[in-house]
Structure 1
């Protein structure tokens, strides 16, 4: 659906109305299982990313619950999970910690206001229709992004699954940390048994019993085993939750309105990362479901979600690349699973805050690793290489960039290379000399079997807009085509229908080409040029150096005019070279009437 389509669909907004109307009751079991499974992942990640953002752990739970509910109402994606994010949390900390002056209460107020500002930025971007920027995220980039995210998650979580010592990597990328973990060796066989064994169970159930709630079963089994065998005191566990409902809302008394200026750069940067990360994740998973997600609706949904989170007292959130695959691999088909996850957090806060103390961290890591493996799409990468090696390399570049340099940098590198590839394609587009094929109407590439040149006339096609990047290529192509001709050429016809645009450099190149051809008694004709392009050409040709009679409505009309002029010359006996050429054209076009094709149609048809 396009942005305009989204605008027309506003009477059915918010998206929750459409999702509710289209809900399939067969999804209910999968959504319940996925929601319960998601709870075990939401709890520790929410608290952990809050600490990473320089905030008390409970604010992560606030952001998680409010974010899940708000996005279920306003978000267009059926299965995207939003929440605190590892790429956003460090930026939040960098923005608020220097201003908080060691006060948790002021840090919470600053984080809430920052989330509201980020939401406003996203809404303004939606109003300005900047969602078209996500069109730069081509399929190779989206596939590479998901593969890169999978590798990143694997590098972060595998040490916990394998029972490896965690090594501080001083801000190094996840792969460097993983190598250091491997070098440190296996530290605890019990962790390996719970984590590695859990991963094996999940993968086996995924293959042998796809409908079984493998992730949930592993978490429950691991908690029972660790508690029954007395391992909870000697291995890492998720830990107990804070009891009760935390304080909500922003204490504006702790906020100085002068802080808005200080937070603005961070709000712009975090909004950009959140939009890029969420849009590409939402678009990628929607494609796998054969659905379309409007980027503008995604911006609106994410913007309103962040405003709601900020007002309640949380911090900025985005699409989760680790929790989304958990929901999907557990059978979730709609936002109902996210709502169940949010409700589960509230239940634990009131009823059983200490229950998660029995869940081994290794089992949780196994669930995340299994979900990350489901993101890997090797088949599409192979298909891309078969279809286009350039697209395959772009895909691998996105994967490597995201995995090693981070989400934004990796996507930026891949987008930059995509733009470069597009520029090269515009610089050296497909171009061809055209001729006639016996039995076929129209004019065809000389690569076509049986295609023949028309004596005395050169017909060329250039399959790209004419601009500064390819104006020289176009002129050189015409020159080389003329050099290959052994007969006397009187006219060059540009089949201009594929040309969808022209700039000042290209206009100057056409004027120069027309002059050089005229010096050798060769006419330049522009045939089938689109009206908008022709009008722009006229506007840019300020001195009127291109004659009115050089334009023809079709290639056939240009050929008709050329052959008609040669026949007139023959009849008048004025041009011996023209007589030879005209008779040759007549024979080539199929008899005495030079305007007829071999199939009987006229050249202008």
Structure 2
């Protein structure tokens, strides 16, 4: 008889994989549909457990416990960044860890409160909360629901492309700017100086004008915790530094009764776990939170997608962008229902999970169990956490967001990319995180349009000893065909570069007429790189054809693909050019020109 295991009172043969489990339920349960198809569609996270090996269990359990050791103090600190009580950070991680396990395609990504989304939350809510803590908490939960809704709608519309809205230099600059905002926001917590203001400039001004209230014991404790975190990260990166540092700080405060010297602690932690529910806020507040929700969704998903892709590539599998977008939406809905705030992924916790050998999201389930145990059995320890230690932990996390090595790599590659990165840093620091998101997207889009608007172009010729036709600028010995200009424009054709195409093509004809040794009779536009076109671009192509016709130059096109041909037909350009002047390859275009040249030869 095959071995069995009991799951929730049902004995399941161990020879079955997770893929076989749906067959244990009656067909009527699945509404007549194939059970595997239903589960794969609505719970794609279960696929990772198909063929789960017992040898993986130890790695997943160890990874889960280790990640929880980092997670507990970290999310408490991020809750304070969001302007909420530290315990809300733990509430905000409960639902996401469970939901993401069932819905995601990434096996290593760690979801939950994260520094950037926490700061975005604070910036969005501060003007609306009017100093009312209960109102602030309700708005935070509603914001999480809105972020979830934005992500889910985007997933339905298959807008996983949102992950590509932030170029690498812009994302690096954005994270560095966010780090500066985070550090400024913690100045009061690590110094004891009362700091007010929403912008970084206002916070720095407030800090400087009230330096006479500096509390040295608080600063010494914060500096000790921050130094310990940096040393542990340098010398013992596998040690759970955040947990160790905060626990040591808590022990020191308790043993030496440092509260009597003005050292502040977290304070009372509510008993138990939050009861699911929806917060009641006015529709005007909901409307005011829509734009921040979109910004948080874009930044959160960009971070999620980049991190998930990196670890998937490292572990030999692929992630599905739209599935991840839907999973992020569901995790934020779960965070909102449990009275949390918007969540994303944590690169540091994901790195830890991978380093500890996590093979599936079972490690997140183990981490969830650990957080529940802390909430239910360690409230007194959490209440004794020094606020200065949590502030130091936030600064430590912020410093890790500043990737100096990546700035150097960007500078070595191209100075314009460095300008983009530094411009984003300045935009975030000057305008704030929410507007910084918009500026970051605008800079990425501007950089893309700049490259498309002034794309590389080439006149093609034959190179002795090389097959095919090549850019004559790349090979000094290249020879264009006398009387024939074959011109290539290396970008999709659109409104941004239509005039540049027209100008560049005529300049190529003029150059060939001056240096080619004989008059230009044919112009062939090589459109192998121009599958995508718009109306403005085709207007420019038609104008180019008309200008060349006025100079008695035949206009033709080569490498015309089916999609482009459909656009040419719809525009009417096929008829204007003549179907016989649309060539599938460059050799056929050259052969047609040679034949026409032969006909025109005066010797015939």
Q: So what's the TM-score if we normalise by structure 1?
A: 0.78
SS of alignment partner, residue 177 of structure 1: helix
Q: In terms of Rg, which structure is larger? A: 1
Provide, for residues 10-33 of structure 1, a one-character-per-residue CA deviation record: whole Å limited to 9, x for no partner.
Answer: 359342652794857446445423
1:133 aligns with 2:162: yes
Match for 1:431 among 457, 467, 472? 457
Residue 111 of structure 1 deviates from its aligned partner by: 6.9
Match for 1:145 among 152, 169, 174? 174
Quote the Cα distance in structure 2 between the aligned partners of 1:512 and 1:329: 59
In the alignment, which residue of structure 1 is the partner of 2:559? 528
SS of alignment partner, residue 166 of structure 1: coil
Provide, for residues 75-109 of structure 1, a one-character-per-residue CA deviation record: whole Å limited to 9, x for no partner.
Answer: 555343323834225645766879xxx895x9978
Residue 500 of structure 1 deviates from its aligned partner by: 1.5
Write out aligned runs for 1:60-99 (5 A).
61-77=90-106, 78-83=108-113, 85-88=118-121, 91=124
Residue 445 of structure 1 deviates from its aligned partner by: 1.0
SS of alignment partner, residue 545 of structure 1: helix
SS of alignment partner, residue 110 of structure 2: coil
Quote the Cα distance in structure 2 between the aligned partners of 1:316 and 1:403: 23
- Change in Cα spacing, 1:229 to 1:64, as seen in structure 2 (3 Å) is same
Quote the Cα distance in structure 2 between the aligned partners of 1:509 and 1:92: 49
Match for 2:603 among 558, 561, 573? 573
Quote the Cα distance in structure 1 between the aligned partners of 2:72 and 2:468: 65
In the alignment, which residue of structure 1 is the partner of 2:48? 18
Quote the Cα distance in structure 2 between the aligned partners of 1:109 and 1:358: 26
Residue 279 of structure 1 deviates from its aligned partner by: 0.9
- Change in Cα spacing, 1:235 to 1:70, as seen in structure 2 (3 Å) is farther
Contact residue 167 and residue 177 of structure 1 kept, 8 A? no
In the alignment, which residue of structure 1 is the partner of 2:74? 41
Residue 358 of structure 1 deviates from its aligned partner by: 3.4
Alpha-carbon RMSD: 3.7
Residue 556 of structure 1 deviates from its aligned partner by: 1.8
Gaps of 5+ in 2: 1-36
In the alignment, which residue of structure 2 is the partner of 1:389? 415
Between stretches 259-268 and 469-478, larger displacement belongs to 259-268
Match for 1:325 among 348, 357, 361? 348
Match for 2:65 among 32, 38, 60? 32
Quote the Cα distance in structure 2 between the aligned partners of 1:224 and 1:58: 19
Between stretches 455-464 and 76-85, larger displacement belongs to 76-85
In the alignment, which residue of structure 1 is the partner of 2:11? none
1:440 aligns with 2:469: no
- Change in Cα spacing, 1:273 to 1:72, as seen in structure 2 (3 Å) is farther
Quote the Cα distance in structure 1 between the aligned partners of 2:544 and 2:77: 69
Provide, for residues 237-282 of structure 1, a one-character-per-residue CA deviation record: whole Å limited to 9, x for no partner.
Answer: 3323335226624389xx6xxx785465246335413312321222
Match for 2:488 among 445, 454, 461? 461
1:517 aligns with 2:548: yes
Provide, for residues 568-594 of structure 1, a one-character-per-residue CA deviation record: whole Å limited to 9, x for no partner.
Answer: 444x635xxxxxxxxxxxxxxxxxxxx
Contact residue 250 and residue 384 of structure 2 kept, 8 A? yes
SS of alignment partner, residue 433 of structure 1: strand
Quote the Cα distance in structure 2 between the aligned partners of 1:368 and 1:109: 24
In the alignment, which residue of structure 2 is the partner of 1:214? 241
Residue 472 of structure 1 deviates from its aligned partner by: 2.2
1:268 aligns with 2:290: yes
Provide, for residues 330-359 of structure 1, a one-character-per-residue CA deviation record: whole Å limited to 9, x for no partner.
Answer: 967766676566545544544343323433
Quote the Cα distance in structure 1 between the aligned partners of 2:192 and 2:111: 30
1:122 aligns with 2:170: no
Contact residue 243 and residue 350 of structure 1 kept, 8 A? no
1:228 aligns with 2:255: yes
Match for 1:378 among 395, 404, 407? 404
- Change in Cα spacing, 1:206 to 1:416, as seen in structure 2 (3 Å) is same
Match for 1:420 among 424, 430, 446? 446
Quote the Cα distance in structure 1 between the aligned partners of 2:506 and 2:573: 26
Quote the Cα distance in structure 1 between the aligned partners of 2:278 and 2:538: 62
Provide, for residues 481-512 of structure 1, a one-character-per-residue CA deviation record: whole Å limited to 9, x for no partner.
Answer: 22223322221222222221333333333333
Quote the Cα distance in structure 2 between the aligned partners of 1:112 and 1:472: 50
Residue 392 of structure 1 deviates from its aligned partner by: 2.4
Residue 416 of structure 1 deviates from its aligned partner by: 0.9
Contact residue 78 and residue 394 of structure 2 kept, 8 A? no
SS of alignment partner, residue 576 of structure 2: coil
Quote the Cα distance in structure 2 between the aligned partners of 1:208 and 1:107: 40
Between stretches 34-43 and 453-462, larger displacement belongs to 34-43
SS of alignment partner, residue 237 of structure 1: coil
SS of alignment partner, residue 486 of structure 2: strand
- Change in Cα spacing, 1:360 to 1:405, as seen in structure 2 (3 Å) is same
Quote the Cα distance in structure 1 between the aligned partners of 2:47 and 2:170: 32
SS of alignment partner, residue 461 of structure 1: strand
- Change in Cα spacing, 1:190 to 1:393, as seen in structure 2 (3 Å) is same
In the alignment, which residue of structure 2 is the partner of 1:586? none
Quote the Cα distance in structure 2 between the aligned partners of 1:377 and 1:318: 22
Gaps of 5+ in 1: 1-6, 575-605
- Change in Cα spacing, 1:165 to 1:329, as seen in structure 2 (3 Å) is farther
Residue 147 of structure 1 deviates from its aligned partner by: 2.5
Contact residue 464 and residue 500 of structure 1 kept, 8 A? no
Quote the Cα distance in structure 1 between the aligned partners of 2:291 and 2:483: 61
Provide, for residues 546-586 of structure 1, a one-character-per-residue CA deviation record: whole Å limited to 9, x for no partner.
Answer: 2233222222222222222333444x635xxxxxxxxxxxx
Contact residue 274 and residue 318 of structure 1 kept, 8 A? no
Provide, for residues 111-162 of structure 1, a one-character-per-residue CA deviation record: whole Å limited to 9, x for no partner.
Answer: 767755654443232112123223212222332233333333333335544x
Provide, for residues 195-229 of structure 1, a one-character-per-residue CA deviation record: whole Å limited to 9, x for no partner.
Answer: 21222222222222222333222222222222222
Quote the Cα distance in structure 2 between the aligned partners of 1:327 and 1:547: 58
In the alignment, which residue of structure 1 is the partner of 2:535? 504
In the alignment, which residue of structure 2 is the partner of 1:451? 478
